[in-house]
């Protein structure tokens, strides 16, 4: 028996686990019920409507430089919601993903690393997540002193996520080599804007695949798969997503020792993390 089998359990098929490890991304249908999504949605909307305060750069537009007026934002980004609203901890999404990650990485002790809320506003054609690999944003093994960086990033669809409103897109198998493509800041430097970008070239074998995801369903991707998403072309539909990432406990502990919490307010070297790996184009 697979799928939702109990209040805190969602059982994956062997094929779903294999797809994650082979392609770097898998979609899991009907993880949360409509009632469960509705409860999460209430808190989610309080964040993106600024009813719950999130300080500094942890509340920003992920598609533009820092400092753009809120009314002009295209991708509303809220980092670490359970840090700023502890009552949100241990919600049903957290409990189910904690169960699922044990199935994907049964040989590792995985721990929650960070959470994030994202909203692509309607009609925002520039609400684009540039192509990237998550490891381009994070300290590498040299900085961490930990070689095993396996990651499961879960993205819960609060709204139906389709090509029209900018669903996830990725390049299957692009992370199998576990190598990092060269990343560049979209805004000149990481102090000006958080987002990074890399080159994707279909003429050189990059095959772009869409990952639509219906409300209550979840996509899961790893730390090296190349992915991004297009703008929101829908005139009246948001694309709200709740992100929750798990990494080996040793990685999370090593990140915190570096002063890296995934907060955009962290006082760390965003471009190199002092690990000697050249992630930034000159």
Q: How far is CA 102 from CA 6, 133, 220, in A?
A: 16, 23, 13
Q: Which residue has the tokens 């409509």?
A: 34
pLDDT tens profile 116-175: 999 999 999 999 999 999 999 899 999 899 999 999 999 999 999 999 999 999 999 999
What whole-number distance in Å separates Cα of residue 54 and Cα of residue 97? 24
The 10 Å Cβ neighbour count of residue 225 is 22
**Which pLDDT value is given to residue 281?**
41
**Which pLDDT value is given to residue 183?**
86
- Cα angle, residue 59 at apex, residues 180 and 84 outer, rounded to 5°: 105
pLDDT tens profile 44-96: 999 999 999 999 999 999 888 888 999 999 999 999 999 999 999 999 999 99
């Amino acid at each position: 028996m697979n799928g939702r089998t109990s209040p805190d359990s969602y059982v994956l098929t062997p094929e779903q686990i294999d797809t994650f490890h082979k392609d770097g991304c898998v979609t899991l249908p009907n993880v949360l019920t409509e009632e469960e999504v509705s409860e999460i949605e209430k808190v989610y909307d309080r964040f993106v409507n600024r009813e719950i305060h999130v300080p500094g750069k942890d509340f920003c537009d992920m598609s533009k430089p820092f400092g753009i007026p809120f009314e002009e934002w295209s991708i509303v980004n809220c980092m670490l919601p359970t840090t700023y609203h502890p009552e949100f901890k241990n919600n049903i999404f957290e409990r189910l993903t904690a169960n699922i990650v044990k199935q994907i990485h049964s040989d590792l002790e995985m721990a929650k690393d960070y959470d994030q809320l994202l909203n692509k506003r309607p009609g925002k054609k520039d609400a684009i997540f540039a192509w990237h690999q998550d490891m381009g944003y994070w300290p590498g093994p040299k900085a961490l002193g930990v070689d095993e960086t396996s990651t499961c990033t879960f993205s819960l669809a609060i709204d139906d996520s389709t090509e029209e409103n900018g669903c996830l897109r990725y390049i299957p198998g692009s992370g199998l080599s576990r190598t990092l493509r060269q990343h560049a800041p979209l805004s000149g430097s990481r102090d000006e804007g958080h987002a990074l970008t890399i080159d994707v070239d279909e003429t050189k074998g990059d095959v772009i695949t869409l990952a639509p995801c219906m409300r209550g369903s979840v996509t899961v991707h790893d730390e090296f798969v190349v992915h991004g998403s297009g703008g929101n072309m829908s005139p009246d539909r948001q694309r709200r997503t709740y992100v929750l990432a798990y990494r080996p406990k040793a990685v999370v502990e090593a990140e915190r020792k570096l002063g890296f919490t995934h907060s955009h307010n962290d006082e760390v070297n965003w471009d190199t993390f002092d690990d000697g790996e050249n992630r930034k184009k000159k």
